[in-house]
Amino acid sequence: MLSTMTSTGVRSAGTEPARAGSGAGGTDSATRAPESVQRLIEAGAEAFADKGFHATTTRDIAARAGMSPAGVYVHFASKEDLLFQLSLRGHQRALEVLEAARARRAAPPEQLADIVADFAQWHAEHFRTARIVQYEFPHLSPEHRDVVLRLRKDIDAIVRGVLTAGVGSGDFEVPDVPGTTLALLSMTIDVARWYEPGIRRTPGAIGTAYAELALRLVRP
Amino acid sequence: MLSTMTSTGVRSAGTEPARAGSGAGGTDSATRAPESVQRLIEAGAEAFADKGFHATTTRDIAARAGMSPAGVYVHFASKEDLLFQLSLRGHQRALEVLEAARARRAAPPEQLADIVADFAQWHAEHFRTARIVQYEFPHLSPEHRDVVLRLRKDIDAIVRGVLTAGVGSGDFEVPDVPGTTLALLSMTIDVARWYEPGIRRTPGAIGTAYAELALRLVRP
DNA sequence: GTCTATACCTTGATAGAC
DNA sequence: GTCTATCAAGGTATAGAC
């Protein structure tokens, strides 16, 4: 029952001691994300995705969240901490999307089509989060980078696993599995860079197109 | 004959008129890049590629170039101006690489293999410049972005042109030429993100591998 | 938990001696 | 063309009232 998180469940200062329960509050105070935290998270996501971590000021984030500059530090230990929360959630979500797509069907060709389609679509629909996940990763503190790195390896492993399975079943011909894994991820990840709302292609159509490209890439 | 540029010919403030000759120097002063400018360019490339534009300080750049902070402004109008010079030269070089690769052979399959191989290899060998070209582009001033954008469109057009030619000749089957162009560029550009010296694969091997992937992607 | 006010530091850029 | 010294502005983060 011990938790290192504050009552908002968001603060994460790596070095701080664990903390028990919810303090004096008699009632259930475990509500996950108070509105102010939610607003800060959205403000941070928008600002970081838009201008990058270092070009974003805490004043900017606070203003977007309709808050004073000091308000940020009630909920997050630092600007980098807010970035970490965003990056972590983003990576977790990306991994979930991939896992769900792989689990949906059994044969490698369908699995590959699904994971590529859903992953590409996710990078379009959630391009702000995806940009933070991909481009702001180097700006995390070394400790936070390590945490996120595990999730990134999991993501890679899923794609590689499907390719390997397809080679094993004879459905795919892939001379270089790690290289092709990387190329597939490069393609889909890059969607977050060039996508913007209002563009000609819808996220769904992008997903479909990339699934087809992926299958063309691995066919015998 | 009036000039707003310094004798190095490097300062570039967008709104300024063209410049003729070499000013007062009686002898040939058209030497392109004095050593200090060269050092600054290398320092800037290293720093921007390493930490990003906004995380890099002018003091950092100056220190890397073995210079005082004030020294930077003798040769560049601003920090952003140095970024622009780097971005511009990088884009020009990338375009040259592509054009040279396309010109080398006549048939679309060979052309595609060559442009993808050389472009991927360039992104590995010059990954610092390539990172600036790709990731720092949004941090250019609007005016400078416009200048560079033309080169980016030229790059895109070369790849698209080879695909179109291959479809015309019957060598390729490409359901969606713009989409496939983008996917090919995504793959190769992303090399700059993950490549680092000392990695298992050499730049040359990466180029060869990506050329093969490209051909697999477009074969009928 | 939010605010106002502010401490303290670093930033990009300039002035002026040499 | 380089330096030392410095400026004004803006940065992150904190203090303390409410």
Beta bridge partners of A142: none
Q: With contact defined as beta carbons under 8 Å apart, do B10 and B2 qualify?
A: no
- Name the average pLDDT for chain B: 90
Tally Cβ neighbours within 10 Å of residue B52. 22
Rounded to whole angstroms, the distance from the CA of residue B65 to the C1' of nucleotide D10 is 26
Q: Which residues of B88-102 are buried (b: 16+ CB within 10 A; e: fewer)?
A: bebbebbbebbeebb
CA B125 and chain centroid, separation = 12
Q: What is the pLDDT of residue B3?
A: 41
Given an 8 Å threshold on Cβ–Cβ distance, is B187 in contact with A189?
Answer: no
* Assigned token pair, A42: 């959205």
- What's the gap in Å between the CA of B68 and the closest CA on chain A? 24
If one compares B3 and A83, the residue with the highest pLDDT of the two is A83
Q: Which of the four pLDDT bands, split at 50, 70 and 90, describes residue A199?
A: very high
Q: Average of pLDDT values for A34-40?
A: 95
Considering only residues A26 and A210, tell me which one the structure prediction assigns the higher pLDDT. Answer: A210
Q: What integer is the mean pLDDT of A168-172?
A: 98
CB within 8 Å of chain B, chain A residues 130-149: 135, 138-139
Radius of gyration in angstroms for the set of CA atoms belonging to chain B, rounded to a whole number: 20
Q: For residue B12, give both structure tokens.
A: 């570039």
Residues B130, B189: Cα–Cα separation, whole Å: 8
Subset of residues 154-173 in chain B with CB less than 7 angstroms from any atom in strand D: none
**Distance between alpha carbon A219 and the CA centroid of its chain, in Å?**
29
Q: B interface mutation test: which of A190, A208, A218 has the most B CBs within 10 A?
A: A190
The 3-state DSSP class for residue A2 equals strand
Nearest to B67 by CA among B49, B40, B38: B40
pLDDT of residue B197 exceeding 60, the answer is yes
Chain mean pLDDT for chain A: 90
Collapsing DSSP states into helix, strand and coil, what is residue A78? coil
Contact B72, B40 (CB under 8 A): yes
Nucleotides in C strand less than 7 A from protein CB:
1-6, 10-16
Q: What are phi and psi of B2, to 5 degrees?
A: -65, 145
Q: What is the pLDDT of residue A32?
A: 72
Longest C-alpha distance within chain A, in Å?
A: 65
Best mutation site among A56, A60, A193 for testing chain B: the one with the most B CBs within 10 Å?
Answer: A193
Residue A55, φ and ψ in degrees, nearest 5: -85, -10
For residue A207, is pLDDT > 60? yes
pLDDT for B109: 98
Q: Which of B70, B91, B84 shows the shortest CA–CA distance to B12? A: B84
